[in-house]
Amino acid sequence: MARSHRAWRWQQKSLAGLGLLAVAACIPLAEGFDRSSRQATTMLQFINPQSVALASAMTSPLLFDTVSDFAEGVALVRLKSRLGYIDREGRLNIQIADDNVTVAADYAEGLAVAQVGAYFGYLDRQGAWAIPVQFRQAKSFSEGLAAVQGGTKYGYINSQGEWVIEPQFDLAERFVGGRALVKLGETYGYIDTAGRPAIPPTFRDAWSFSESLAVARIDKLYGYIDPSGAMVIAPSYDGAFSFSEGLARVRQGRNFGFIDTTGGMVIEPTLPFASDFAEGLAAVLIDSQWGYVDRTGEVAVTPQFAYAADFSEGLAAVQQNGRYGYITPAGDWAIDPQYSNAGPFSEGRARVQVDNGWGFIDTEGNLLSGAGFQAVD
């Protein structure tokens, strides 16, 4: 690959590179609501690849061993030892050409991270290698660049696999609004898309930008900075989370509340737990049951669920009596609880667990079915 000569020089010691990409089997979705500040790429993986035709095991409805959410028109699915991407009708859309691929991610900006052995590269929309396997770690593309680990340090490449920002960071995150969070030694700062320092690395902890504000810690307390690095919401919280729909979840002591972009407390920190706002509602835990509050803090959906996820595309997955279904913002059942597990709606489809397999439903609850895959051998 061609190399540029852009390098960012901070006057401080650098530590050995730390792992950037969390590789995880796609086992939705009953994890907690705290959205990580490190946005790891969700990936599907399998062991001992074999030459198995996907079509040979397809039944109606379409069920797979593992699935991801739809992104850029396709969803990654695994059946036995084969990976592929299906379209919204369940047809094989992208067949991965290299049988040695053991891990793959969702497409982002037309490319998907994939792993062979201990190294990563990027697949194009035909399932062939667009950027050959060569990186120790790799993240999805964002704003035309992707953070990758070359040697022991992280830098950024373009969609042709060329170094745009030379490897020099101990950790590196995706670009959001022209800023990327990077770590040098024990402190965090931000760079712009040319690799120039935008905010010096002075924070002991920091998050990526969201809605033009980013969480940053000074001493033991968290506040928010703007893209210039100015602390616009004073560090006064024991915990803080990214802004979503103009509100941010903060923790004081053991309880959660919400602030606006001026730092004004909109919902007092009295909640044992809460999620971020999505489509005007936030899932909250009250008296050991999950429900939803609106932007004023008023209860919009009475707490009654064992689990409640964020709203997406007008519906939210909730658990009641051991089964998952979907409710409307009014709290009415749109899809009765009948699944072993359930994910969010994305591009008109949601992944659901039926017995020991995973399939997809539409917003009416219809399970994707049919012959699906064409033969791949």
Alpha-carbon distance of 18 to 318, in angstroms, equals 36
Mean pLDDT in residue range 297-323? 98
* pLDDT of amino acid 55: 41
**Does the pLDDT value for residue 21 go beyond 80?**
no
Mean pLDDT in residue range 129-139? 98
* pLDDT of amino acid 81: 81
Mean pLDDT in residue range 38-45? 47
Alpha-carbon distance of 278 to 294, in angstroms, equals 10
Q: What is the DSSP string of 285-341?
A: EETTEEEEE-TTS-EEEEEEESEEEEEETTEEEEEETTEEEEE-TTS-EEEEEEESE
Alpha-carbon distance of 168 to 315, in angstroms, equals 43
**Does the pLDDT value for residue 306 go beyond 70?**
yes
Average pLDDT, the chain: 86
* pLDDT of amino acid 98: 96
Spatial neighbors of 264 by CB under 8 A, at least 6 apart, are none
Mean pLDDT in residue range 188-208? 97
Query: 């891990």: which residue's tokens?
Result: 103
Q: Where are the beta strands (DSSP E) in 30-73?
A: 43-45, 66-67
Q: Are 32 and 309 a contacting pair, CB within 8 Å?
A: no
* pLDDT of amino acid 82: 84
Half-sphere exposure of 226 (CA within 13 A, CB side): 8
- Tell me the whole-structure pTM to 2 decimals: 0.84
140-191 pLDDT tens trace: 999 999 999 999 999 999 999 999 999 999 999 999 999 999 999 999 999 9
* pLDDT of amino acid 52: 34
Mean pLDDT in residue range 7-22? 34
Mean pLDDT in residue range 202-231? 97
Supply φ then ψ for residue 285, to 5 degrees: -105, 120
**Does the pLDDT value for residue 35 go beyond 80?**
no
Mean pLDDT in residue range 349-368? 95
pLDDT tier at 324 (50, 70, 90 boundaries)? very high
**Does the pLDDT value for residue 109 go beyond 90?**
yes
**Does the pLDDT value for residue 31 go beyond 70?**
no
**Does the pLDDT value for residue 218 go beyond 70?**
yes
**Does the pLDDT value for residue 331 go beyond 80?**
yes
* pLDDT of amino acid 43: 55
46-91 pLDDT tens trace: 433 333 344 434 447 899 999 999 999 999 999 888 899 999 999 9
pLDDT tier at 371 (50, 70, 90 boundaries)? low
pLDDT tier at 36 (50, 70, 90 boundaries)? very low
- For residues 84, 88, 377 and 115, what is the CA-based torsion angle, rounded to 10 degrees? -10
* pLDDT of amino acid 18: 27
